[in-house]
Amino acid sequence: MISVLLIGKGNIATHLFEAFSNLKEIKVTQINSRELDNIPNADITIIAVSDDAIAEVSNKINNNFVVHTSGSFAMTHLKNKTRKGVFYMLQTFTKNKKVDFSKVPFCLEAEDKNDYQLLEKLAKLLSEHNYNIDSEQRKRLHVAAVFVNNFTNHMYKIGNDICKENNIPFKILGPLIDETASKIKTLSPEKAQTGPAIRNDEETIKNHLNLLSENNKEIYKLLTKSIQNGN
Amino acid sequence: MISVLLIGKGNIATHLFEAFSNLKEIKVTQINSRELDNIPNADITIIAVSDDAIAEVSNKINNNFVVHTSGSFAMTHLKNKTRKGVFYMLQTFTKNKKVDFSKVPFCLEAEDKNDYQLLEKLAKLLSEHNYNIDSEQRKRLHVAAVFVNNFTNHMYKIGNDICKENNIPFKILGPLIDETASKIKTLSPEKAQTGPAIRNDEETIKNHLNLLSENNKEIYKLLTKSIQNGN
């Protein structure tokens, strides 16, 4: 039995609480980060609050082993005087949408070897995808995640905007979006690239630019140049 | 029985030929676009060649009904003196990878109503996703496809590059990529957006920029600005 204390009431804390609650191997408690007067002890204390609150919250905790769930916050910046670690899930969580934790990659880090094994044991109860990722790697992984998630989603938004302006149902792009995501499981993104940029099809590029708003034109130009330069 | 003549030996022509060959309702012939001496007649003649060759190829054809498969070429630019149409598949095709045509959206256009119905009949043998898309809409849809496919794939490439540089397996980003693509089936891309840009988290943005190459920094800045401006 592993006892887990979850601090925070946001998206990640709530999803984790639900998942842990369903496992008989785990005894889980959840508290609000604003009510830190009587903090219960636990084998693992997970701080799941926004980045700018982690330092302050961790400063108030004396539990043996304290981890956070952030992609960009260094483990050593935790302010508890006890042992430290990281329990970062590389996934986007949506409020009110059930999370399939079995598909979530867990990025783990701990100062102490036994603590690492404990984190690994906890993660494995939810998912078989566990990675030892140190704070430097995690920082960069978080940037990569911004590109493949936030920026990709913005590409979808621009696609949606173009569809809306031209009375085309956005769902027409669904299969292409799926195939684009699926293709890179068997082909590197570099090899998967197609389209006017990589073909140096200047005629089509020119025609496309003529159809775009100033903002989207700038994005189109920059990404086309980047694809063509291979960087 | 619908007779189909496919002109071209590229990716699209080859995948279509294979799919049509498996259907008893269709009699299909495929010829090379460089051997247009003895062109067999057919109910539908499909020119599946690169954009810059469509005009020349169509100029040599006297068959009753001629369509092309391009996303950006206007129907009226076909040079045959007979009836014209478009049979555009909104999907990315990979050499040697089987296409599941049942998931491919077909964008159809024809000058003549009966021709349109014939195209629709043909498309429906492969997929239930058929759309009446005129040349103006198609041109813009093609631009949208560049954003959600080519540019999204470039986001994956940058993610892959960052992983490689930091000894992180790229597959760790797989579930996030999948969830990003899946989320917009139930949520608009605008509502699905998360991350430092939309949160106006200037601290994280600054930290991310410090980790990036000049090229990727430029992309990060422009896309962050675009997300924040809501355009």
Conformational region of residue B211, where left means phi above 0, alpha means psi within -120 to 50, and beta covers everything else: alpha
Mean pLDDT score of chain A, rounded to an integer? 96
Conformational region of residue A132, where left means phi above 0, alpha means psi within -120 to 50, and beta covers everything else: beta
CB atoms under 10 Å from CB of A224, counted, come to 23
The structure tokens listed for B87 are 């049979």
Its ipTM equals 0.94
Q: List alpha helices for B99-198, DSSP H.
A: 113-126, 135-145, 152-165, 174-183, 189-192
Strand partners, A31: A7
pLDDT for B97 equals 80
Residues 14-73 on A with a CB inside 8 Å of B are 51-52, 72
Go through the domains of chain B in sequence order and give each one's CATH number.
2-133 (3.40.50.720), 138-229 (1.10.1040.20)
Under a CB-based contact definition with an 8 Å cutoff, are residues B101 and B75 in contact?
A: no
Report d(CA A154, CA A177) in Å as an integer: 13
- The pLDDT-based confidence of B95 (bands split at 50, 70, 90) is confident
Report d(CA A87, CA A116) in Å as an integer: 10
- The pLDDT-based confidence of B98 (bands split at 50, 70, 90) is confident
Q: Scanning the structure block, which residue is given the tokens 């014939």? A: B118
The low-confidence residues of chain A, meaning pLDDT below 70, are none
B153–A215 CB contact, under 8 Å: no
The sheet that has A2-7: what strands, in order across it?
Answer: A26-31, A2-7, A44-47, A65-68, A83-89, A106-110, A130-132
pLDDT for A94 equals 79
Residues 6+ apart with CB under 8 A from A175: B90, B91, B103, B104, B105, B129
pLDDT for B47 equals 98
Amino acid present at A75:
M
- By DSSP bridging, strand B83-89 and strand B106-110 are antiparallel
Displacement of CA A123 from its chain's centroid (Å):
16
Residues 6+ apart with CB under 8 A from A60: A36, A39
Q: Measure CB to CB from residue B163 to each of A139, A144, A150 and give the nearest one.
A: A144
Residue in B with minimal Cα distance to A209: B143
Under a CB-based contact definition with an 8 Å cutoff, are residues B151 and A195 in contact?
A: no
What residues in B contact A158, CB-CB < 8 Å?
144, 147
Report d(CA B124, CA B104) in Å as an integer: 11
Q: Measure CB to CB from residue B148 to each of A97, A180, A194 and give the nearest one.
A: A180
pLDDT for B96 equals 77
- A214: contact with B, CB 8 A cutoff: no
Report d(CA B173, CA A71) in Å as an integer: 13
B145–A177 CB contact, under 8 Å: no
Instruction: Render pLDDT for B133-184 as a digit per residue (tens, 0 to 9).
Output: 999 999 999 999 999 999 999 999 999 999 999 999 999 999 999 999 999 9
Q: Measure CB to CB from residue A219 to each of B91, B208, B223 and give the nearest one.
A: B223
Q: List alpha helices for chain A, DSSP H.
A: 11-21, 51-59, 113-124, 135-145, 152-165, 174-183, 189-192, 202-211, 214-228
Instruction: Render pLDDT for B32-79 as a digit per residue (tens, 0 to 9).
Output: 999 888 899 999 999 999 999 999 999 999 999 999 999 999 999 999
Mean pLDDT lowest for which of A89-98, B22-31, B191-200? A89-98
Beta strand spans in chain B (E): 2-7, 26-31, 44-47, 65-68, 83-89, 106-110, 130-132
Per DSSP, B81 falls in state S
